Amino acid sequence: MAEVFGATSTTEEVLKGINLQGKRFLVTGVSAGLGVETARALVAHGADVVGTARDLNKAATATTDVQKAAEANGGSFRVIELDLADLKSVRAAADSLLASGEQFDAVIANAGVMATPFGHTVDGFETQFGTNHLGHFVFVNRIASLIKDGGRLVNLSSAGHRFSNVNIEDPNFEKTPYDTFAGYGRSKTANILFAVAFDRRHRGRGVRATAVHPGGIQTELGRHMGNEQLEAWVKQINQQLAAEGKGPFEFKTVPQGAATSVWAAVVAPADEIGAHYCENCHVSSIVPDEVVINVNSEGVRGYALDPENAEALWKKSEEMVQESF
């Protein structure tokens, strides 16, 4: 019987006894937090990992333990430059991987930004939607042929997808007032919808795509939230939990946060997670839009898994990046 993992499971617990020598993974965003731990856990079990980062110097400093773990366990680790907020950089990174021709057992689209002030990427897209979704949309689609038959795509989403559905008519907030968390919600919903549409296109060769919520973790992702804003947010969550008769909110550790990513990429049955949303190392259920849920609650909004919504986003994304996949 397969071991059951949950909210407090760590990367080491999820990968216990698994030998990943000969397996190759691509992890975006390895200059901090979850990306670093995801890469470390994989190489510690013998895997070959290619990481991406916007700032190669920062990544080199952040991944010294990853390099040591790779050397000690028969794996390998290297980092390539990728700025998801610049499609020229995205396409250059994809081209370099295609030129090498090395394939991957799984791609983990981990990188992202959260609750940023209103701004735009190099190509003029709203910062969060452009970075979290469109950058990965172009990058992953361009290297899709490098994902081995039977491989996987794992998109990091968030419980923040509950803040907002995507807005196909106004993705860049040109007609509607900008709200930091509405922007974050749109981008995280897009990450799920991208997985749904990618899964439909590639499942014929056994490639399955899923989206995961790592949980509430204190990493660099929250650097745009001030201490007062963070404290107010936690206070609101705790009030909701108290009303439900539950204990106070607790942040996950980074190894606990990265566990669902490696579980989905390595351990979980592919057919169970394909075109689904996972959290706490299991597939999550749909929760009606009218049900109030917080970051400690589980559940995915139906609009984030809707195939028609996914196809509409795919078409809009192609229009925006001026490239068809």
DSSP letter assigned to residue 251: P
Active site residue 184: yes
| Per-residue model confidence as pLDDT tens digits over 207-228 | 999 999 998 887 554 555 556 6
Q: Average the pLDDT over 295-321 and give the result.
A: 93
Active site residue 157: yes
pLDDT at 247: 67
Residue 39 has pLDDT above 70, yes or no: yes
Catalytic residue among 157, 158, 284, 317: 157
Token representation of residue 173: 């907030």
Rounded-to-integer distance, Cα 134 and Cα 190, Å:
9
Coil, helix or strand at residue 8: coil
Token representation of residue 130: 């452009």
pTM attached to this predicted model? 0.92
Domains for the chain: give ranges and CATH numbers: 11-319 (3.40.50.720)
Q: Which of 37, 113, 36 is closest to 79 using CA atoms?
A: 36
| Per-residue model confidence as pLDDT tens digits over 76-100 | 999 999 999 999 999 999 999 999 9
Catalytic residue among 9, 158, 164, 184: 184
Task: Kindly report the average pLDDT of the chain as a whole number.
Answer: 92
pLDDT at 289: 80
Token representation of residue 319: 């229009």
Q: Which of 291, 288, 264, 290 is closest to 277 using CA atoms?
A: 264
Rounded-to-integer distance, Cα 238 and Cα 218, Å:
17
Residue 242 has pLDDT above 80, yes or no: no
Token representation of residue 14: 């999820």
Q: Label residue 142 left, alpha or beta by phi (over 0 means left) and psi (-120 to 50 means alpha).
A: alpha
Active site residue 316: no
Q: Which of 190, 22, 39 is closest to 112 using CA atoms?
A: 190
If pLDDT is split at 50, 70 and 90, which confidence band does 45 have?
A: very high
Residue 69 has pLDDT above 90, yes or no: yes
Catalytic residue among 158, 188, 261, 317: 188
Rounded-to-integer distance, Cα 309 and Cα 325, Å:
17
Strands 104-109 and 147-156: parallel
Coil, helix or strand at residue 134: helix
